[in-house]
Amino acid sequence: KAGVTQTPRYLIKTRGQQVTLSCSPISGHRSVSWYQQTPGQGLQFLFEYFSETQRNKGNFPGRFSGRQFSNSRSEMNVSTLELGDSALYLCASSLAPQGDGYTFGSGTRLTVV
Amino acid sequence: AQSVAQPEDQVNVAEGNPLTVKCTYSVSGNPYLFWYVQYPNRGLQFLLKYITGDNLVKGSYGFEAEFNKSQTSFHLKKPSALVSDSALYFCAVRRSTDSWGKLQFGAGTQVVVTP
């Protein structure tokens, strides 16, 4: 059974650009969550999607957005990149939002220069 | 709001000795509690969870954790540490009554196991 797949693994972008990250959940999992991990702030919740609808959102500016497709795959987008957006972005999937198990992908390492 | 505290930034232990990583939490209502491990440049790997039932939870790779409601703690333990257990460990909590599954993570504890 394939795990959570995140692409790309590494990205280097310039300030002011935008970026799109992709997450394919485990087959059958319908809930996808996104987290940002930085040395200073640790793991912070970005948002959660279920049935193509955003169900929960963390305290991030509107430059951070996401969506979920009918096959449960999810993308997150960051516009007008800032140096502080450099982080490991992790996606997690679960069977259902109230599910008691979350499987994480290996993450996308974004570096903003 | 929920919160998680991992009071130790780093835990050092010799191989073969018992390993304990501490976690305390604050949440209104009943908690769902999780432990994850992260190796360098990798995502989080699930170790174990407490949802309900037996307070002693057994997980992957010989790890276990004990839920203590009165002390609001969920410490991770392993009877005999291996060098390969050296990694970053995260405790996480969410409320059991939440409709949507936002996890609140602790800051993480770096475990260093020396041969």
Give, for all 113 residues of chain A, the pLDDT tens digit.
679 999 999 999 999 999 999 999 999 999 999 999 999 899 999 999 999 999 989 999 999 999 999 999 999 999 999 999 999 999 999 887 665 678 999 999 999 99
* Optimal mutation site among B36, B45, B98, B102, interface A, most CBs of chain A within 10 A: B102
Contact B103 A45 (CB under 8 A): yes
Contact A48 B100 (CB under 8 A): yes
Cβ-based neighbours of B77, under 8 Å, separated by 6 or more: B18, B19, B20, B21, B63, B64, B65, B66
Band the pLDDT of B102: cuts 50, 70, 90. Answer: confident
What is the structure's pLDDT at A97? 64
**CA–CA separation, A64 vs A78, rounded Å?**
5
* Optimal mutation site among B100, B103, B109, interface A, most CBs of chain A within 10 A: B100
Give B5-60 pLDDT, tens digit per residue. Answer: 999 999 999 999 999 999 999 988 888 999 999 998 788 999 999 988 889 999 99
For the segment B87-113, the average pLDDT, to the nearest whole number, is 89
Say yes or no to pLDDT of B86 above 70.
yes
Q: Which residues of B touch A58 (CB under 8 A)?
A: 102
B95 or A37, greater pLDDT:
A37
Say yes or no to pLDDT of B88 above 80.
yes
Q: How many CB atoms lie within 10 A of CB B51?
A: 14
Which CATH number characterizes residue B30's domain? 2.60.40.10
Say yes or no to pLDDT of B96 above 90.
no
Residue B44 is nearest to which of A6, A104, A109, comparing CB atoms? Answer: A104
Which residues of A fall below an 8 Å CB-CB distance to B? 4, 6, 31, 33, 35, 42-43, 45, 48, 50, 55-56, 58, 90, 92, 94, 97-107, 109
What is the structure's pLDDT at B65? 97
What's the domain count of chain B?
1
What is the structure's pLDDT at B30? 87
Residue written as tokens 């390492």?
Answer: A109
What is the structure's pLDDT at A102? 86
- How many inter-chain contacts (A to B, CB under 8 Å) are there? 62
Long-range contacts of B63-68 (CB under 8 A, 24+ apart): B63/B35, B65/B33, B65/B35, B67/B33
Tell me the shortest Cα–Cα distance from B62 to chain A, in angstroms. 19
For residue B10, give the nearest of B92, B114, B103 by alpha carbon. B114
* Burial zone of A86 (CB within 10 Å; 0-12 exposed, 13-18 middle, 19+ buried): middle
Structural domain for B109, as ranges:
3-114
What is the structure's pLDDT at B80? 97
Cβ-based neighbours of B42, under 8 Å, separated by 6 or more: A106, A107
What is the structure's pLDDT at B52? 83
For the residues of B34-71, what is the DSSP string, one character each? EEEEE-TT--EEEEEEE-SS-SEEE-GGG-EEEEETTT
Q: Which residues of A touch B103 (CB under 8 A)?
A: 33, 35, 45, 92, 102
Contact A97 B36 (CB under 8 A): no
The dihedral over CA atoms of B108, A5, B46, B51, expressed in degrees to the nearest 10, equals 110
